[in-house]
């Protein structure tokens, strides 16, 4: 257990010392005879309403697609896919930039019983192409060269991408081509346990795992979260999370189709370039539900000067969901403080927790407010589980611990994946003998409500994206001049930081100042090219400084603790500022 975790528990004197097992039960999902059992049913129902989807374009213009029009477009795509000879449960890999094309193609697959496999959209630049094309190539190979559905711009680039050409022939079609077909209204009758979508785990540069999610998984998450939070058809949602991400697709699209409510999507790049457009759109469309990781709220906070000059009416907002990375109380509180003059209610911040393997968010907290938290809170409670989901905390022997004790978080319930695609080793590691899913997160339960305190896995979450320590370390050790097996990539956080930063510890074969600076730049360039993330700190250290276990495993958490108490301040190299700091 980390020191700051021990300190936190020492402060919580109200913990019941008599043994109370750390298990939280979400209860039952309210079902009726009319409750949908497959995704096709919810689109059919939504198509009878007047609601639909507004797509904000990169130039800020708007396009509206009613659910009725979406249903018709999906039938055209279904027709085109069937003409290609696809059969139910065949996989279709998505490499699609447009939100509207992606969503239409997704439903075309659903209507035919085909399985969409979204791959993060490739921004074709020299620094990004290595990582993203490698992931796409691996996915196509893993699925034995299925259909690649894309847009015209990427289809034109395929002849210039050696990694894809090495795979040999595989079918490629554009969404526009399929949309030229006549609608097909003869839908496949899927079963609740049929796989509806395969989501790829993010972070692994060459070996993504395919998370299999069924109709039952997705609808259980949707209905459970609606039941817990009281979402209704009158709600209006706003989303900038990429639609190929589990939160964008499941939580900010499928949920709204189920409700038959209005949804608005705008591009991530637009938000990153102009964070305050988030609030502009909330005001303009009278939005009631939005979501962002901690870094998003920090970006808005950084625009505090502009906040004072702008006028918004944010009184329509009910839920600013906060998740996908570690939540910082000070950041969330500052966001509420800045926007209180703009009629944002003090109870709108809703910390949550989820992951792809459990169909996105499954816990939600309604306890966060300025009066119930402080800037110095070490952790933020993320709430109780939704109906249909249970949580428990266990020790290293898989025994349930007492409430208030930190341990490994496990999940069981209707939203949990059946497993990873053709990956028996990963499935054996992911599930316990009694059927619980190992999340890889550390946390504790108190009064049935979850608090996340850290991560078991060597995963670094930066700005909502997952990166694996060993992948980053491998990229570093490709650089000539780096001692192999003496590299450690860690998530670190200095005082005042609003998100985790990437620190890379390494040992150089040559320690002269000029040589070291050149090496540091080469390391950072290679990490950006291979992994797609910029290092915040590169710390050259002697080999003996890297702590290892008796069997040679690097102890990254020890390095993180030593970094955060300032032990490496003299050796710190701030890559983005290109200075020692």
Name the pLDDT band for 499 (thresholds 50, 70, 90).
Answer: confident
205 vs 132: CA distance, rounded Å: 8
For residue 126, name the pLDDT band (cuts at 50, 70, 90): very low
Please give the Cα distance from 64 to 100 (Å, whole number). 10
The 10s digit of each residue's pLDDT in 72-114 is 999 999 999 999 999 999 999 999 999 999 999 999 999 999 9
Q: Which of 320, 325, 410, 430 is nearest to 368 (CA)?
A: 320
**Per-residue pLDDT averaged across 393-410, rounded?**
95
Confidence of residue 549 (pLDDT cuts 50, 70, 90): low
- Percent of the chain at pLDDT exceeding 70: 91
- Rounded distance, CA 65 to CA 426, Å? 40
Pick the more confident residue, 4 or 437: 437
φ/ψ of residue 43, rounded to 5: -70, -40
Handedness of CA 127, 574, 302, 344 (dihedral sign): positive
Cβ–Cβ contacts within 10 Å for residue 369, how many?
15
- pLDDT tens figures, 2-50: 444 544 555 444 444 578 999 999 999 999 999 999 999 999 999 999 9
Give 3-state DSSP helix, strand, coil % of the chain, rounded to 5: 35, 25, 40
**pLDDT score at 211:** 97
pLDDT digits (tens, 9 = 90+) for 274-330: 999 999 999 999 999 999 998 899 889 988 877 667 899 999 999 999 998 888 899
Report the side by side order of strands in the sheet with 488-492.
488-492, 501-506, 537-540, 573-574, 579-580
Q: How far is residue 341 from each of residues 286, 294, 405, 505, measured CA to CA in Å?
A: 17, 21, 39, 44
Q: Are 281 and 239 in contact, with CB atoms under 8 Å apart? A: no
Overall residue count recorded for the chain in this entry? 581
- Average pLDDT over all residues of the chain: 89
d(CA 179, CA 152): 13
C-alpha 218/C-alpha 212 separation (Å) is 11
CA 510/CA 508 separation, integer angstroms: 5
Query: Is 543's pLDDT higher than 90?
Result: no
Structure tokens belonging to residue 543: 């080999």
Closest Cα partner for 382 from 355, 363, 358, 400?
363
Buried b / exposed e across 234-245, counting CB within 10 Å, b at 16+? Answer: ebbbbbbbbbbb
Range 125-142 average pLDDT = 74
Query: What are the CB-based long-range contacts (under 8 Å, 24+) for 494-499?
Result: 494/564, 498/294, 498/295, 498/297, 498/298, 498/301, 498/328, 498/330, 498/331, 499/293, 499/294, 499/295, 499/298, 499/325, 499/326, 499/328, 499/462, 499/463
Helix (H, G, I), strand (E, B) or coil at 199: strand
H or E segment at 130? helix 126-142
Question: In the predicted model, is pLDDT for residue 420 greater than 90?
Answer: yes
Ranked by mean pLDDT, the top range of 128-142, 209-223, 528-542 is 209-223
560 close to 492: Cβ distance less than 8 angstroms = yes
* 580 confidence band (pLDDT: 50, 70, 90): low
CA separation for the pair 125, 481 (Å, rounded): 27
Q: Please state, in angstroms and as integers, the Cα–Cα distance from residue 149 to each residue in 14, 60, 70, 156, 180, following that order.
A: 55, 26, 18, 13, 15
* pLDDT at res. 407: 93
Which of the 8 DSSP states describes residue 158?
G
Q: What domains lie within the chain, and their CATH numbers?
A: 3-27+274-455 (3.40.50.12780), 66-214 (3.40.50.980), 460-580 (3.30.300.30)
Cβ proximity of 249 and 228 under 8 Å: no
Burial 158-190 (b: 16+ CB within 10 A, else e): beebebbeeeeebebbbbeebbebeebeebbeb
What DSSP letter does each residue of 82-125 carry, written as one string? HHTT--TT-EEEEE---HHHHHHHHHHHHHHT-EEEE-PPP---
H or E element, residue 21: none
Using a cut of 0.85, tell me whether the model's pTM lies above it. Answer: no
CA dist list (Å): 285 to 62, 74, 83, 236, 292 = 12, 26, 40, 8, 18
Selection from 187, 179, 174, 120 nearest residue 147 by Cα: 174
- Is residue 568 a contact partner of residue 558, using CB atoms and an 8 Å limit? no
- pLDDT, tens only, 563-579: 988 888 877 665 544 55
Lowest mean pLDDT among 125-139, 156-170, 487-501, 526-540: 125-139
Residue 129 has pLDDT above 70, yes or no: no
Task: Quick: pLDDT tens for 144-174.
Answer: 999 999 999 999 989 988 889 899 999 999 9
| pLDDT for position 277 | 97
The pLDDT score that the predictor gives to residue 369 is: 96
pLDDT at 494 (0 to 100): 81
* pLDDT higher at 227 or 464: 227
Percentage of the chain beyond pLDDT 90 is 69
Q: Is 65 buried (19+), middle (13-18) or exposed (0-12) by CB count in 10 A?
A: middle
Residues 502-534: pLDDT tens digits?
A: 999 999 988 777 788 899 999 999 999 888 888
In this predicted structure, what is the pLDDT of residue 15? 46
């Amino acid at each position: 257990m980390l020191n700051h975790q021990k300190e936190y528990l020492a402060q919580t004197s109200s913990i019941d010392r008599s043994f109370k097992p750390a298990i939280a039960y979400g209860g039952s999902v309210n079902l009726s005879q009319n409750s949908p059992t497959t995704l096709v049913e919810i689109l059919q129902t939504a198509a009878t309403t007047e609601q639909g989807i507004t797509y904000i374009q990169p130039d800020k213009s708007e396009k509206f697609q009613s659910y009725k029009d979406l249903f018709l477009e999906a039938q055209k795509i279904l027709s085109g896919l069937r003409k290609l000879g696809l059969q139910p449960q065949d996989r279709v890999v998505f490499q699609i930039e447009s939100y509207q094309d992606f969503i239409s193609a997704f439903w075309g697959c659903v209507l035919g019983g085909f399985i969409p496999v979204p791959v993060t959209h490739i921004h074709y630049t020299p620094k990004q192409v290595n990582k993203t094309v490698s992931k796409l190539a691996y996915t196509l190979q893993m699925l034995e060269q299925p259909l690649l559905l894309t847009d015209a711009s990427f289809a034109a680039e395929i002849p210039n991408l050696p990694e894809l050409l090495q795979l040999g022939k595989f079918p490629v079609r554009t969404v526009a081509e399929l949309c030229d077909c006549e609608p097909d209204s003869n839908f496949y009758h899927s079963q609740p346990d049929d796989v509806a979508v395969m989501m790829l785990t993010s972070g692994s540069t060459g070996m993504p795992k395919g998370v299999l999610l069924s109709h039952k998984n997705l609808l259980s998450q949707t209905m459970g979260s609606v039941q817990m939070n009281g979402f209704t058809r009158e709600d209006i949602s706003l989303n900038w999370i990429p639609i190929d991400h589990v939160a964008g697709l499941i939580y900010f699209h499928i949920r709204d189709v189920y409700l038959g409510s209005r949804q608005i999507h705008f591009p991530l790049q637009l938000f990153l370039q102009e964070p305050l457009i988030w609030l502009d759109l909330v005001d303009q469309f009278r939005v009631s539900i939005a979501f962002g990781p901690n870094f998003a709220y920090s970006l808005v906070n950084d625009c505090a000067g502009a906040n004072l000059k702008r006028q918004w009416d944010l009184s329509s907002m009910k839920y600013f969901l906060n998740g996908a990375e570690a939540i910082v109380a000070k950041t969330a509180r500052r966001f509420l403080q800045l926007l209180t003059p703009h009629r944002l209610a003090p109870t709108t911040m809703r910390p949550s927790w989820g992951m792809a393997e459990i169909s996105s968010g499954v816990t939600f907290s309604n306890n966060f407010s300025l009066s119930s938290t402080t800037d110095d809170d070490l952790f933020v409670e993320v709430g109780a589980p939704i109906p249909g989901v249970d949580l428990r905390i266990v020790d290293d022997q898989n025994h349930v611990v007492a409430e208030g004790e930190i341990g490994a978080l496990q999940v069981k319930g209707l939203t949990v994946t059946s497993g990873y695609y053709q990956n028996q080793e990963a499935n054996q590691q992911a599930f316990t003998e009694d059927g619980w899913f190992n999340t890889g997160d550390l946390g504790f339960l108190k009064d049935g409500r979850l608090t996340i305190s850290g991560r078991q896995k060597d995963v670094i979450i930066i700005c909502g994206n997952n990166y694996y320590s060993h992948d980053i370390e491998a990229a570093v050790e490709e650089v000539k001049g780096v001692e192999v097996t003496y590299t450690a990539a860690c998530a670190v956080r200095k005082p005042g930081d609003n998100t985790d930063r990437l620190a890379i510890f390494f040992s150089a074969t040559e320690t002269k100042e000029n040589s070291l600076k050149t090496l540091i730049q080469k390391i950072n360039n290679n990490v950006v090219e291979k992994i797609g993330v910029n290092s915040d700190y590169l710390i050259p250290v002697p080999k003996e400084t890297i702590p290892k276990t008796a069997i040679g495993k690097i102890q990254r958490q020890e390095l993180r603790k030593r970094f955060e108490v300032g032990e490496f301040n003299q050796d710190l190299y701030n890559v983005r500022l290109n200075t020692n700091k």
